[in-house]
Structure 1
Amino acid sequence: MKTMSNVDINAICYELNELLNGARVDKSFQPTKDTVIMRFHVKGTGRIDVVFQAGVRIHTTQYPLDNPKMPPSFPMVLRKHLKGANVISIKQHNFDRVVEIKIKKEKVYTLIIELFSKGNIILLDEEDNIIIPLKRKQWSDRDISSKKEYKFPPKRGINPLELKKEELNEVFKESSTDLIRTLARSGLGGVYSEEIVLRSGIDKKASASKLSDDEIKNIYNIILDIFDPLKDHNISPNIVLKDQNISESSISEKISSNINKPKEDVLPLELKLYEDNNEYKKEHFGTFNEAADEFFSKRVKNEIKGVQESIWAKKVGKYEKRLKIQNETLEGFKKTIEISKEKGDLLYAYYSQIENLLNVIQNARAKEYSWKEIAKTLKDAKKSGMDEAQILESMDKLGNLILDINGKMISIDSKITIPENAEVYYEKAKKAKRKIEGALIAIKNTEKQLKKMEDKRDIAMENVMLPQKRVKKKLNWYEKLRWFVSSDNFLVIGGRDANTNEAVVKKYLDNNDIYLHSDIHGASSVVIKTEGNDVNDNTLKESAIFAASFSSAWSKNYGTQDVYWVNPEQVSKTPESGEFVAKGSFIIRGNRNHIRGVNLKIAVGIVDYEGKRIMAGPIDALKAHTDNYVVIKPGYTKKEAIAKKILHKINKEDIISLDDVVRVLPSGKCDIVDL
């Protein structure tokens, strides 16, 4: 699996430092064992998510991963110390696969991301003591444990951005291996070592210590040339993919087998290694963060799907294995019936011969011959050609015989009659026949269970929440607020917070409009945009439901709430003498028109209003504009979990994202109402 090289990290750190310097840290999440997502707020840009995967990658991401319902301790400690802090700097340590993020709150913290080996993520205090590591590790010279002083790993390899020719001479002089291994082990990695060898024209298997001064000088100049764009930050982020339509034979004709190239890669630089356009497809990006996100997120999707497929394969396989065993058992019963019946019939078919043989044995026993003596006598009789003895295969010391009749080995007891022996076989066949009935019932039940599990698997795999790209959409003015379109086509808007409550009244409340507010502290200012038209009771009722649902009554899990409406001239920001009106609050003067006991229940669906978009509002309003909606009420399920269920139900045309659903839901927990 591709992991970020020293060169990748250098390019990423520069971009992250430019993007996040001064950014505010929001929440941290840990969606998988080795992966942490840290959310930042950048002034003028908004939310930025950065993924840290220990030992693999670090970059901004537009592909949010599912977060566990119960967050692990590591991200909770990050939240405790870093939430609300500001980023001071992001840099690469010594051109190594180590990233340092300095973050200031009351104190200065350092977040270390180690991307070598299996990697680690470590939070340090201002004295560089470890507060908490993602993984505890211990070596002879390093102890990654809480309260221990953090020590960077020993410097490894060369820094191509500060390389001196004398340093390169020393690297080759002390090498005991070939050119390509020497370059790779010096910290340049496999791909860049191959690029250097390709440009130099030197055999990569040549002994590094025997290179001439001219060859070393040539390699030195090539290294400077390759990595020079990093110094000026003039990079060319790209993803390269091997064209699967090109046959291996045609590739081998064009390319020397002396060069090893991966089938796919993400790079901040242009490499001659991939210049053959017929062999590789290349896609360029504006930033290396974008390129890395597309490259690694694609792999994460495949990994998530692979894990889920493996889990369901085990569940389904359990029933498949059981069904196979049951079918084999059924076939065994059928075979037992066939063979047992045939053996019973053969005893009657050879009745006289078997009877004569049994008589001989019984007469011998009457004369007090031992079973051993009888067996020897019968063996001698068989050799002498006695007809009855020809069907005898063997006899044990208890008088049990093995008969060979037409190639069938039949066991009988010489102490009982032929019909009694035959009945033993017929009874065995009957018993197997009775077992067949039970086996068929068991097989039918298992087939039902298997079908049920396969159906569950198919549904589960359809609903596997693969990371979907979070694209920041351009919102219409009303989408930045709470909004819905009534069943009579009136646009109704409401504030999302104190700032937008102010905007709803000061910017959007016109003279002919109607103002509504839930009769509880912590509610949206709601406005019916009448456009000069008369508003009927339906729209008033729907707007009241909207006002009640988008108030603190929802998070308090109320079933109903009172709402009132007034005319615009009754809404004022001017307080009485000695009073203070908080931001987002208003003074209502005059009589209020109350709508009592409004039910808190809304619908969420996709409507066609100036284009297809998600809308949350009263059930009647959604019914009037779409058949594709889900009804919710105050409940006990977190918004993110409900949002996922809603997304699966209504996103049939794949036009909305999880963030879109979360944005329109009321504040507080919800439950879906089964209609």
Structure 2
Amino acid sequence: MDPKRELTSVDLSALVTELNRYEGAKVDKAYLYGDDLLRLKMRDFDRGRIELFLEVGDVKRAHTAKPEHVPDAPGRPPNFAMMLRNRLNGADFAGVEQYEFDRILTFDFERGDENTSIVVELFGQGNIAVLDETGEVVRSLETVRLKSRTVAPGAQYEFPASRLHPFTVSYEGFKRRMDDSDTDVVRTLATQVNLGGLYAEEFCTRAGVEKTMDIEDAGDDEYRAVYDAIQTFHERLKSGDFDPRVYEEDGAVVDATPFPLEEHEADGLNSESHDTFNDALDEYFYRLDRTAEDEPDEEPGSNRPDFEAEIEKKERIIAQQEGAIEGFEEQAQKERERAELLYANYELVNEVLTTVRSAREENVPWDDIRQTLEDGAERGIPAAEAVVDVDGAEGTVTVDIDGTRVEVVVDTGVEKNADRLYKEAKRVEEKKKGALAAIEDTREQLADVKARREEWEAGDEEEMDDEDDEPEEVDWLSRSSIPLRTEEYWYERFRWFHTSDGYLVIGGRNADQNEEIVKKYLNKHDLFFHTQAHGGPVTVVKATGPSEPSKPVEFPDATKEEAAQFAVSYSSIWKEGRFADEAYMVSADQVSKTPESGEYLEKGAFAVRGDRTYFRDVEARVSVGIQCDGETRVLGGPPSAIEDRVAASVRLQPGRYAQNDAAKMVYRKFRDAFADQSFVRKVASPDKIQEFLPPGGSEIVE
């Protein structure tokens, strides 16, 4: 079986019980790995160090991790992580809740000056939203703007529409859901009762009910057996009395569950017991990651990608999507037919509603109303004969009209009940539209895989080019898959770029870094640049690396001009909306941290003595681009140094859009330019782009 890559709603129900045992732990620091794995480092008085992992990418998980399973901290933290550190440092973990039976967790943190909630969406594309104490989104990994909900900074967070909770639904409600189906028992449990495939099968097995039994052949005995199995499981889930297992098949992990599952035992899967469900999940996902790292991408002795497996996967997804679309069509049609039946039998339904509503206004108990209707049916009263169920908890009555059961709300009239059904049909049709768009995307992906297979097979038939031939230029923008190749360097925590001649230029992001660069990284043969305007970065062109012996270098004019443009562009003149200024250049020995007699130098300030070389009317412009050749990363700096090195670039000048908004605009440009949008999301997220934007407002130069 395929290994689980996403937690189920049942998993999250168990997880919440265990995670709430850490209530009162203090947050030390937040880390963001890539753009989808958040790590919160906390301290608990009794348990010591706690590492909480929240991942919302291709793998969707939430659990604590052993210290030995924690990866090294990433480099310079992105803005999202810095924002969380500012809000959560020293805060107390106040608890976590699961939203109804959905795959959504809300983590609450309390601090004297402000409270913060982190909502983790472990479904669909996945997302993490940080909320203030009013429920307003401070920041989110992804911005969501749909007809049904919005998740965006400055907006109130909106949960998705509620779905049936299979553990809290009444037996009458459960029975109605089953009766409304026209498929077999297990599929009804999976879809109509919202249990999903694995647990639908598990509860059938525990109840002794045949999974493939047609729903028309199932009766109250089967319904009651399955319902009781669900409730027994729920009671144990609430108690926290878990017996967690990690399941293996052929030595590889395939699932982690809070309890042993009869379905897995029947399939012959080996299991390993763990003390807590968190431990089981930690071990499971750690081994899953290791398995993915160890597995070769290619068959032994061949570098041919496994196109067939990818094609089979896409075709399987398309088949599932087609089934969902067909189901939406049927459901929408059923809802419309029910609404039309209400209007066609207006007098009958109105009599039922009026009778029940009048009784409730006189405080007649629901059980008495049910009995009165049953007595009326025995006497042959048409309105009473039409009633097949009364649900006091939901305030509904189910009527049978020409063999079709329709649930109506007692407190509203026939028209509003019919309108509710029409709206439900419309909502389902909207879901169908979304599914149609999704299936088109999948079909395009399938066509792309088939095209790549044809290109590969055609390439196998061609003769190899001579080794002396120049390599062909790669069209990175149209490639459907771009491999990631990234290393970390010492200078990445500063502002930096490489000139068109290959020299490294570094600049300070703040006064502390300006101080550090002058004291630690300014060597004898380096060049020093600064602007006449106050508030610019210390800019240094490095002759050699920090661990290399210093030696004299004859810097080209292009390198000097690019360093001057870098100093101007990242200075305060950009904030002021000015488009040009002047910069000066001196040698390293002209820069000192020692002030003249009677003077004082602030942190980040310096004294420059001797003659200066000036660069006049230097344009404030930067380019941000994505490098694909060699390493894959975002680059930013003077346009002449960046644009020839990258596969796609965007040029900016001082403007009206805040730094964060400008970064998102650039990100959208890149996303539109590249066929491999997953690559763009991983390499050039808005946070990474923002690191290369000057402080202040910007706008794109078209």
Q: Which has the larger radius of gyration?
A: 1
* Fold agreement, TM-score > 0.5: no
Using the size of structure 1 for normalisation, the TM-score is 0.43
Using the size of structure 2 for normalisation, the TM-score is 0.42
